[in-house]
A = this chain, B = another copy of it.
Amino acid sequence: MAPIITLTTDFGTRDPFVGTMKGVILQIARDVQLGDLTHDIAPHDVIEGGLALEAAVPFFPPETIHLAVVDPGVGSARRPLAISARRQLFVGPDNGLFSFLFGAGEWRAVLLEAAAYRLPAVSLTFHGRDVFAPAAAYLAVGTPLHRLGPPVTDPVVLPWPAAYREGETLLGEVIHVDRFGNLVTSVRTGDLGVLGPSPSLVVEVEGKEIGGIVACYADLPVGELGALVGSSDRLEISAREGSAERATGATRGSRVRVRKR
């Protein structure tokens, strides 16, 4: 069974950066299953990168290696990490990208320091190629985590988008606008419970009031706005066969309120 390495970056697909990382991986781990998660994370947007990982990771088999590089601080003192968590492995910069791993659940992290598991020459601008791709590849061929470097116990943890109760209202934000213009929010199904059992809810974003939560896109009248629980268990605002982004003017970071009718 070939080990799996996924790749998540903000490198885009126009430049050969991702292809180059794959070349480095294949020099070290020839028999590997490579899978792109996305390379279109907004440049330097560490939180967006982490949210993409958080959504996809649960659907991969144990021992999958997730190589993720959203790395505005490349070349600076920010630490390069490998992490074992949720029965999977993660490789990338210590800048908050992996914050979602450091809450509940056990984890172990190491500093990617051992010269034997890097390219011989490490540039100051492309650690994806020179540090992270080799580390992921060496993990794929069975190198134990602790061989890559000494433990790190204080990784960077950024405040993660969440939902907060304020009186009778749940406050959240738009964390992602997907290709269809759906607004994915920081409100999870579980959060809705605080408003009481099966409440009849109103969702507000950018001054628009959206009534009721439907089960699926097909329950919405064509073009009309609605709210539903999306595929990653988050409240989404959608317009059937239309764009909720265009209809509301909301963008990533827009405030979202949920209250009883």
Contacts and interface: CB of A to CB of B under 8 A. Distances in A.
Contact of A218 (B74, B216, B230): B74
Contacts of A14: 38, 40, 178-179
B13 A74 contact: no
Nearest to A243: B43
A131 B12 CA distance: 29
A253 interface: no
A179 B11 contact: yes
Q: Which of A14, A74, A75 has the most CB of B within 10 A?
A: A14
Given A30-B61, A56-B19, A75 B241 contact: no
Interface in A36-80: 36-40, 43-44, 52-53, 55-57, 59-61, 64, 72-76, 78
Interface in A1-47: 1-2, 4, 6, 8, 10-20, 22-24, 26-27, 30-40, 43-44
A35 B228 CA distance: 32
B241 A44 contact: yes
A23 B56 contact: yes
B231 A126 contact: yes
Contacts of A104: none
A219 interface: yes
Contacts of A129: 59, 231
A13 B13 contact: yes
Contact of A40 (B13, B74, B231): B13
Interface in A106-141: 123-126, 129-130
A180 interface: yes
A35 B26 contact: yes
Given A38-B14, A126-B231, A218-B76, A33 B43 contact: no
Nearest to A121: B233
Contacts of A4: 26
Contacts of A11: 179
Given A16-B37, A19-B36, A1 B59 contact: no
17 contacts: A2-B30, A10-B179, A12-B179, A19-B36, A22-B35, A23-B56, A23-B59, A23-B60, A24-B59, A43-B179, A43-B180, A72-B217, A72-B241, A76-B218, A124-B216, A124-B228, A130-B231
Q: Sort A-B residue pairs by CB-CB distance and give the 8 closest, nearest first.
A: A75-B216, A76-B218, A126-B231, A124-B216, A12-B179, A19-B37, A23-B59, A23-B60
